[in-house]
Amino acid sequence: MSFFERNKKPRGRRSMGLAPKSANQAARLSALASLENAAPEVPVSASQQFAKRMIGVALVMIVLFIANVTLFSQLFHMVEQTRLRSMFADELAQATAPTSEVNFDKVMLAQGDPVAIIQIPSIGLNEVVVEGTDSASLRSGPGHRRDTVFPGQQGVSVIMGRAAAYGGPFGRLQELPTGAKINVITAQGIQKFKSLGIRYAGDYSLPPVGANQSRLVLQTARGSAYNPQGLARLDAELISQVQPAGLRITSIADVPREDREFGFDLRYGWALVLALQLLIAAEIASVWSYKKFGARGTYLVFTPVLLLAAILVMDQTTRLLPNLL
């Protein structure tokens, strides 16, 4: 054996022949030895893996729901307002914008059709108004209740708008002072109104409008954002020329519950059930794929599918929220 081989010391954390120098060192070495000799981890069963995945999906859905209501809904509202504004401008230019519940072709207006533009400069409001006040219609902008006349026409016109979600167009309505100017652009021109003040539940009631009078009532949720605590009404009287009222087919008795204040739209509950079934089926298929093909291929194929299914569930869930939220 050469001189260098005799003097070569073993490398590593500690030579196997050396004793620990202290009690603490001995305890650490003992703990390391016990970890090395520990029993192997018990494999997770398919049912446990599925339960863990479903919990993860539920957490993701909660996050997506919050993001959908607070963020994505605002983007959706912006896109819809751009589309509606262009559509209504074309109708005004072609003199085909509606003046009644039926359009230029004598066909009843569909939910979501643009009918006016409301402008309140003091609170920075400039929104296209659509026909209909159900939850789906109010995602695009303020909605005109179809049993009432159009703004500026003889009688009472009711426009409802959300307070927070989907742009929250009426979120600052309660800040509007008495006497503030409100302009509404319709097929009959610019209708000018003056605010009469805000009313809440239990407050005074205004007298019925008389002949050659027009009143505008704006309705939204009262309370903090995403926490409605009642209804707020803003009344305004027309100070420009009164327009003749158009044909009204729908009466107050015909207005469905989902189009009234804080209405829930349950008509598309079947779509939510189908979306949930798609999400569960995709999750079961992803668990099978994980066991069959491994993690990489499963994540590559099923991540977009699960994300799409979760988005569909969230979209249908928001339809069940109150229409003035």
What's the topology of domain 46-325?
Sortase; Chain: A; (2.40.260)
Length of the chain, in residues: 325
Buried b (16+ CB within 10 A) or exposed e, 57-80: beeebeebeeebbeebbeebbeeb
Q: Which residues pair with 182 in a beta bridge?
A: 193
149's CB contacts (< 8 A; 6+ apart) are 155, 156, 157, 214, 245, 246, 248
**CB 131 within 8 Å of CB 108:** no
Of 198, 171, 193, 168, which Cα lies nearest the Cα of 182? 193
Amino acid found at 27: A
Per DSSP, the chain holds a count of helices (H) and strands (E) of 6, 8
**CB 123 within 8 Å of CB 173:** yes
Residue 181 CA from chain centroid, whole number: 30
CA atoms within 13 A on the CB side of 123: 21
How would you classify the pairing of strands 125-131 and 143-144? Answer: parallel
Sequential pLDDT tens for the chain (325 residues): 444 455 555 554 444 445 656 666 666 667 666 655 655 556 666 677 767 777 877 787 788 888 888 888 999 999 999 999 999 999 999 999 999 999 888 899 999 999 999 999 999 999 999 999 999 999 999 999 999 999 999 999 999 999 999 999 999 999 999 999 999 999 999 999 999 999 998 888 888 998 899 999 999 999 888 888 899 999 999 999 999 999 999 999 999 999 999 998 887 788 888 988 988 898 888 888 888 888 888 888 888 888 888 888 888 888 888 899 9
CA atoms within 13 A on the CB side of 312: 20
Tokens read off for 181? 């100017």
Buried b (16+ CB within 10 A) or exposed e, 227-263: ebeebbbbbbebeeebbebbebebeeeebeebbebbb
**CB 114 within 8 Å of CB 137:** no
How would you classify the pairing of strands 214-224 and 189-200? Answer: unpaired
CA terminus-to-terminus distance, the chain: 88
What are the structural domain ranges in the chain?
Answer: 46-325
Mean residue pLDDT across the chain:
86
**CB 255 within 8 Å of CB 166:** no
Q: Which pTM was predicted? A: 0.79
158's CB contacts (< 8 A; 6+ apart) are 144, 145, 148, 217, 219
**CB 151 within 8 Å of CB 116:** yes
pLDDT at residue 12 in the model: 46
Q: How far apart are CA 87 and CA 222, in angstroms?
A: 31
